[in-house]
């Protein structure tokens, strides 16, 4: 029965966890054209692996997940020629024959196509992946024992193009860049390893261009086949993955995308049960074909010997474990518990309503950095600490830090970051926020990193929040900062520090690197320049004051002493 929506079919799969456990298909029951689906699978199955001894047919070498894609996409054309599964997102770990299977799917599309001079695209993230995809597709044509495919297709290796001599249609294999869609109105597109494109500032625009170019063709389809990211998901990858998850979980009634996500439930990723090798079959759909469990275990043991950081990186690629904030051996100890400390219902206004006192932590930056702010409240009923963070940056950061531009744009869209057009806009907005807290008679003080924020101090003075009035202090380093770091991690672990949802902050927490010194510890960034930690530092600045049991402006004031 058709449901209201952009394409008419509903793609929710509420029992996906049980399906993974039982090894069943992740495609929900759909009213496919069974004859068309069977024909497509028959074509796909007859293609042969070109780089394996004996060149076995895909009926033996490909996993059922490949055939699930083929059936869903090519069995969903209605009588008017409209495709009811116009998009598909498959999240599959490495070594499950993604690129080879993708090449076979696009070759199947070319064989099924009836539109004259149609254009199909296979888009790889790098030149190496694009070369592999072309070689696999060309090899499948050369491997046809009957010689039919060799006669039907013209191979042009220098431009990575396969032309169908019957329909004059083409399969072009390209590397992902701004020119990928120049003049193209494709009938079908397969994007391989989307997660590798997330660091490209133009990635969202290109994906938008792909979708826009397909509008003219009612039978057009777009397939994403990708591994999980080996860093915290960001940019276009995060956007498409979260959209696919929302569809799978039934949160979106109207949808254009069929999700096939081979990932462990979040609970298994958090409690560590993903480490049990008996569970790995759940997310390895090509097991027993392109990959064996013994080989996966051996790879894991090798990664484990190199430490926890390499183990988690390996797990993100080979088991689709999402890289959270606790992913570095020398990271902040509180990072392991940061996600669990999130309170989805907590907002800035909620913190201001529930708190008896507020400390605002500030970590300012230059024009190529973030300006991090933390509003840290103490609940009047429970005395728990409640944290809200936000960041500001100048628009020039998008050019100066291109590797994180897509992450910053996503944070802006999520309301976690304000991108400013001029240098004083951030200070004006932050001072306005602090003045509002002060008017509510909640403000204890503003704790600032003293470096490079003279202009900010002057702006606070204009609203009568001053150092002389003990409302502005320079957050000390050394022992006081070490105490803040250790106090915060303990309170995050024991549940007495809660924070609002904020993906940008999650990323910053994961960037923190803790280094021992002769007498204490200090926090630095994992990578200089692009790995930001400013809002986390703002939280630490606020904690330095909050541990001293401060009182709001309206209450009798106490002196704060620091070493």
Mind listing the pLDDT tens digit for each residue in 422-463? 878 899 999 999 999 999 999 999 999 876 578 888 899 999
Closest CA relative to residue 102, chosen from 192, 227, 207, 219: 192
pLDDT for 561: 40
Contact 381, 375 (CB under 8 A): no
pLDDT for 524: 65
Closest CA relative to residue 453, chosen from 548, 532, 373: 373
The 3-state DSSP composition of the chain as helix, strand, coil percent (nearest 5) reads 40, 20, 40
Rg (C-alpha) for the chain, rounded Å, is 27
Backbone angles phi, psi at 431, to 5 degrees: -65, -40
Mapped onto helix, strand or coil, the DSSP state of residue 149 is helix
Instruction: Give the list of residues 6+ apart from residue 294 with CB closer than 8 angstroms, or none.
Output: none
Task: Take residue 440 and report the two structure tokens written for it.
Answer: 């509510």
Instruction: Give the list of residues 6+ apart from residue 336 with CB closer than 8 angstroms, or none.
Output: 326, 493
Instruction: State which H helix or E strand residue 467 sits in.
Output: none
Domains present along the chain, CATH in parentheses: 16-270 (3.40.50.300), 271-318 (no CATH), 335-546 (3.30.420.240)
Q: Alpha-carbon distance 389 to 498, whole Å?
A: 12
Sign of CA dihedral 80, 82, 83, 84: negative
Measured from the Cβ of residue 384, the count of other Cβ atoms closer than 10 Å reads 16
Burial letters 470-487, b for 16+ CB under 10 A, else e? ebbbebeeeebbbbbbbb
pLDDT for 516: 67
Mapped onto helix, strand or coil, the DSSP state of residue 77 is strand
* pTM for the structure as a whole: 0.76
Contact 417, 408 (CB under 8 A): yes
pLDDT for 430: 94
Q: Which residues pair with 320 in a beta bridge?
A: none
Q: Alpha-carbon distance 471 to 418, whole Å?
A: 25
Q: Name residues of the chain where pLDDT drops below 50.
A: 1-6, 528, 555-563
Pairing of strands 512-516, 497-499: unpaired
Contact 63, 289 (CB under 8 A): yes
Which of the 8 DSSP states describes residue 135? H
Q: Alpha-carbon distance 506 to 347, whole Å?
A: 16
Residue count of the chain: 563
Task: Take residue 326 and report the two structure tokens written for it.
Answer: 């606790």
Q: Alpha-carbon distance 131 to 141, whole Å?
A: 16
Beta strands in 364-488 (DSSP E): 370-379, 385-394, 417-420, 443-448, 472-474
Q: Alpha-carbon distance 188 to 204, whole Å?
A: 18
Q: Count CA atoms within 13 Å of residue 167 on its CB side.
A: 17
Q: Alpha-carbon distance 262 to 402, whole Å?
A: 31
pLDDT for 28: 96
Q: Alpha-carbon distance 532 to 534, whole Å?
A: 6
Q: Alpha-carbon distance 551 to 563, whole Å?
A: 20
């Amino acid at each position: 029965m058709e449901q209201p929506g952009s394409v008419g079919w509903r793609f929710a799969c509420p029992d996906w966890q049980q399906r993974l456990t039982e090894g069943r298909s992740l495609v929900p029951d759909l009213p496919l054209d069974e004859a068309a689906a069977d024909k497509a699978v028959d074509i796909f199955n007859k293609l042969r692996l070109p780089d394996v001894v004996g060149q076995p047919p895909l009926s033996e070498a490909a996993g059922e997940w490949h055939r699930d894609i083929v059936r869903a996409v090519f069995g969903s054309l209605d009588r008017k020629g409209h495709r009811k599964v116009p998009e598909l997102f498959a999240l599959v770990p490495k070594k499950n024959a993604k690129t080879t299977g993708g090449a076979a799917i696009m070759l199947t599309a070319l064989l099924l196509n009836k539109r004259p001079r149609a254009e199909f695209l296979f888009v790889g993230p790098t030149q190496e992946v694009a070369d592999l995809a072309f070689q696999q597709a060309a090899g499948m044509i050369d491997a046809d024992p009957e010689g039919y495919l060799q006669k039907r297709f013209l191979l042009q290796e220098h431009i990575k193009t396969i032309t169908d001599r019957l329909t004059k249609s083409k399969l072009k294999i390209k590397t992902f860049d701004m020119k990928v869609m120049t003049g193209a109105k494709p009938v079908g597109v397969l994007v391989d390893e989307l997660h590798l494109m997330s660091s490209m500032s133009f990635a969202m625009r290109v994906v938008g261009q792909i979708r826009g170019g397909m509008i003219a063709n009612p039978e057009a389809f777009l397939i994403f086949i990708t591994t999980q990211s080996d860093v915290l998901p960001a940019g276009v990858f995060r956007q498409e993955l979260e959209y696919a998850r929302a569809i799978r979980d039934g949160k979106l009634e109207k949808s254009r995308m069929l999700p096939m996500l081979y990932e462990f439930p979040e609970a298994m990723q958090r409690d560590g049960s993903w480490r049990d090798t008996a569970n790995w079959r759940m997310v390895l759909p090509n097991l027993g074909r392109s990959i064996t469990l013994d080989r996966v275990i051996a790879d894991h043991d090798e990664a484990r010997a190199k430490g926890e950081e390499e183990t988690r990186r390996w797990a993100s690629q080979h088991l689709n474990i999402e890289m959270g904030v606790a992913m570095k051996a020398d990271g902040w100890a509180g990072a392991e518990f940061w996600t669990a400390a999130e309170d989805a219902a907590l907002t800035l206004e909620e913190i201001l309503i529930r708190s008896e006192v507020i400390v605002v932590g500030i970590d300012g930056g230059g024009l190529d950095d973030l300006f991090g702010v933390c509003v840290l409240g103490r609940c009047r009923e429970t005395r728990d600490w409640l944290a809200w963070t936000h960041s500001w940056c100048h628009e020039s950061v998008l050019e100066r830090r291109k590797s994180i531009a897509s992450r910053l744009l996503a944070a802006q869209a999520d309301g976690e970051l304000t991108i400013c057009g001029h240098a004083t806009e951030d200070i004006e907005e932050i001072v306005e926020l602090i003045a509002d807290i002060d008017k509510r008679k909640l403000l204890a003080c503003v704790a600032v990193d003293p470096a490079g924020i003279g202009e900010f101090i002057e702006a606070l003075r204009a609203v009568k929040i001053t150092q002389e009035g003990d409302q502005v202090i320079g957050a000390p380093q050394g022992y006081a900062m070490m105490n803040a770091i250790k106090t915060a991690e303990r309170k995050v672990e024991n549940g007495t520090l809660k924070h609002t949802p904020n993906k940008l902050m999650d990323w910053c927490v994961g960037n923190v690197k803790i280094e021992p010194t002769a007498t204490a510890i200090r926090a630095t960034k994992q990578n200089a320049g692009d790995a930001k930690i400013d809002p986390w530092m703002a939280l630490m600045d606020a904690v330095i004051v909050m541990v001293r049991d401060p009182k709001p402006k309206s209450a009798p004031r106490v002196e704060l002493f620091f070493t």
